[in-house]
Amino acid sequence: EKLFHSRDHSDLQPSPQHQAELVTDLQSAQQFLSKYGWTEPVKWEGTSSKNAAELPRYGDADLMQEGASISRYGQEFPLEPTQAPAFVEALRKFQTLNGLPATGKLDDSTIAAMNKPRCGVPDNQIGKESAIVKSNSNNVTEKASGKSLNTTTNQNPENGTSTS
């Protein structure tokens, strides 16, 4: 059984064998970005046998770009300059939409964001619009400070206006 001690099972512990693998390094980050459509949109069909298959695999060298670095155990490791602009671009997009500085560097906060519990549906799918809300807005502004991409206007009537 899953271990618990409380009457209401609120302290239920997951079995160690059934823990999801976390994103910890460049390779797992690359897989994450590919899986959820950040590198390129994913074809998401439940009946397709290709869907869950092989993600494009890059060697470490391919993932490195001049100026890019990886973070392990709180330190940043400067890398040898080679090309993986798609990966860096995907990483930047992910960082931007998650309210992180869009550095293109796989730092601890980016890894933490990738390891948050989430839905399994890809964020970007073939044939579907991107995951940026554009309703009630003329512009979608990407803020350099790294704040989340949001609609520029908020017409939510719940935020303040009241009728007499």
Partner 1 sequence: KIRKKRFLQMLAAPVRYKDQANQGSTVRGAFSKKLLKWRLIGEGYSSQLSIDEQRYVFKTAFRMWSEVMPLDFEEDLTSPMSLIDVKLGFGRGRHLGCTRSFDGSGQEFAHAWFLGDIHFDDDEHFTAPSSDSGISLLKVAVHEIGHVLGLSHIYQTGSIMQPNYIPQEAGFELDWTDRKAIQMLYGTCEGSFDAVFDWIWKERNQYGELVLRYNTYFFRNAWYWLYENRKNRTRYGDPVTVSLGWHGIPAEGIDAFVHVWTWTEDATYFFKGTQYWRYDSENDQAYIKDAQGNQYPRLISEGFPKIPSPINTAFFDRRDQFIYFFKDAHVYAFDVKRNMVANHYPKRIIDVFPAVVRNNHPFGNIDAAYYAYTHNSIFLFKGKEYWKVVSDKDRQQNPKLPRNGLFLKKNISEQWTDICNVHSSMLKM
- Binding footprint of partner 1 on the chain (CB under 8 A): 8-12, 14-15, 17-22, 36, 44-49, 51-52, 97-98, 113, 115-121, 123, 125, 128-140, 148-151, 155-158, 162-163
Shortest reach from residue 38's CB to partner 1, in Å: 11
Q: Find the shortest distance in angstroms from Cβ 68 to partner 1.
A: 24
Of 24 and 83, which CB lies nearer to partner 1 in the complex structure?
24
- CB of 3 closer than 8 Å to CB of 12: yes
Contacts of residue 117, defined as CB under 8 A and 6 or more positions apart, other chains included, come to none
Q: What contacts 136, CB < 8 A, 6 or more positions away?
A: 151, 153, 155
Nearer to partner 1, 23 or 106 (CB): 23
d(CA 35, CA 153): 31
Smallest distance, partner 1 to C-beta of residue 93, A:
11
Q: For the chain, give the longest Cα–Cα distance.
A: 65
Choice between 11 and 74, CB closer to partner 1: 11
Distance from C-alpha of 68 to C-alpha of 104, rounded to nearest angstrom: 7
Length of the chain: 164
Indicate the residue among 52 and 144 with the shorter CB distance to partner 1: 52
Q: How far is the CB of 65 from partner 1 (least distance, A)?
A: 25
